[in-house]
Each structure stands twice: as C-alpha cells, then as structure tokens.
Amino acid sequence: MIDRLSVFEHKVLKKLSASWRDEVTGEWRRLRNKELHDLYSSPNIIRVIISRTIRWAGHVARMEDRRCVYRVLVGKPEGKRRLGRNRRRWKGNIKKDLGRGLD
C-alpha cells in the first residue's frame, strides 16, 4: 500500500511540474524524483498518514472505557477465525508504524 501511495504522489508531482528547460543543454526534460522533492517542499504523504494515525491512536488510548472506539481497539473478537493468514488489524498497523518511525 505504501508503495502505491508513493507512486501516486510522484505521478501527481510530475504532472504538476510538466517539463522544465535544462539550464546547461537548453533542452526540455522531465524532472527526476529528487529534483521534484527539492522543488516541492511538501511533506511526504506516507509521513503525513503515519503521523495522523499515531496521533489518532493517542486520542483513542486516552478515551474512557465505555467509548465504542476504545472498546474496539482493546477488545478481543470472539468466535472462530477463518483459515489462512490473519487479517491485519488497526492495532497491528499502529505498532508497525511506531516501529517504522517518521524518518
């Protein structure tokens, strides 16, 4: 999912930048990814999503026990699981994001 978001972000930035004239050769060319990030100093979309997810998890962790969102976060599902790989849960994604950091 992260790779797909990064590809989308690069496509949007390339469309916005269109073509640029090279200062040395005078030819028109597309900007490379590093040049795009230097030109547009907007934060990386992945970092924004991770930081907002972690911030929301902090709000949920401080909620009262009777709130539905809190109960969903700390609750255990009942019943049998399906065969195959376990689905990724929101709590697992938060742990993964915390381990990844905002580098």
- According to DSSP, the residues that pair with 20 across neighbouring strands are 29
* Reported pTM: 0.60
Single out the residue of 99, 1, 2, 6 nearest to residue 54, CA to CA.
99
> Coil, helix or strand for 87?
coil
Per-residue pLDDT tens for 34-90? 777 777 777 778 888 888 988 988 898 898 888 988 887 777 778 887 788 777 777
Q: At what angle do helices 90-100 and 45-61 cross, to 10 degrees?
A: 120
Main-chain dihedrals φ then ψ at residue 29, nearest 5 degrees:
-155, 165
